[in-house]
């Protein structure tokens, strides 16, 4: 029975080892985007794109979960259908950006410029829109905004409102 003991020990070590995240970030893809490349359907999990100017980039379908896009200038960028949960868009400029069909759950758009941005079919559950300029945003519905929050300085398209943040 001695030969089985080392095999059993090895199998237990593998089974009990901490698993690596299945969808960890792709450093090469993040570097490409930081350099100005388009990267649709890329894995940009937790990417730091803060303060960058990346106008018109195609990041449609990309996984940007927990990324930092604070103070970024990304006018006319496409995030359509992307995983943008928990993304920090604080103070960024996203005029004309496409967020159609994106999952923006718990994202922060505090003080962001979103004029002309498309939110058609986007998930806005838990999104903070405090101070966001978005009175010319398109595709927004009251049902979407009811799941988000904002403040008195949030500018929305006529006829729409957002609950206050707690």
Average pLDDT, the chain: 90
Residue 146 pLDDT level (bands cut at 50, 70, 90): very high
Tell me, what's the pLDDT at 5? 52
* Tens digit of each residue's pLDDT (9 = 90 or more) over 90-110: 999 999 999 999 999 999 999
pLDDT score recorded for residue 13: 47
Q: Rounded to two decimals, what is the model's pTM?
A: 0.86
pLDDT (tens digit, 9 = 90+) per residue, 6-18?
544 444 444 444 4
For the chain, domains (ranges, CATH) are: 40-158 (2.160.20.80)
Is it the case that residue 1 has pLDDT exceeding 70?
Answer: no
What is the model's pLDDT at position 157?
Answer: 98
- Tell which wins on pLDDT, 30 or 7: 30
DSSP the chain: -TTHHHHHHHHHHHHHSPPPPTT---HHHHHHHHTT---TT-B-TT-B-TT-B-TT-B-TT-B-TT-B-TT-B-TT-B-TT-B-TT-B-TT-B-TT-B-TT-B-TT-B-TT-B-TT-B-TT-B-TT-B-TT-B-TT-BS--HHHHTTSBB-TT-B--TT---PBP-
Q: Is the pLDDT of residue 79 over 60?
A: yes
């Amino acid at each position: 029975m001695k030969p089985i003991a080392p095999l059993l020990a090895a199998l237990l070590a593998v089974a009990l080892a901490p698993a690596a995240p299945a969808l960890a970030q792709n450093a090469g893809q993040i570097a490409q985007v930081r350099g100005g490349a388009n990267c649709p359907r890329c894995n940009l999990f937790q990417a730091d794109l803060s303060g960058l100017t990346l106008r018109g980039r195609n990041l449609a379908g990309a996984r940007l979960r927990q990324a930092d896009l604070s103070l970024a200038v990304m006018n006319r960028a496409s995030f359509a259908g992307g995983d943008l949960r928990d993304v920090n868009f604080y103070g960024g400029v996203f005029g004309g950006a496409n967020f159609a069909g994106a999952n923006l759950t718990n994202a922060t758009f505090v003080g962001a410029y979103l004029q002309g941005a498309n939110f058609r079919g986007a998930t806005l559950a838990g999104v903070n829109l405090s101070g966001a300029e978005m009175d010319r945003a398109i595709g927004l519905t009251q049902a979407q905004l009811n799941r988000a929050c904002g403040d008195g300085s949030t500018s929305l398209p006529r006829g729409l409102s957002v609950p206050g943040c707690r």
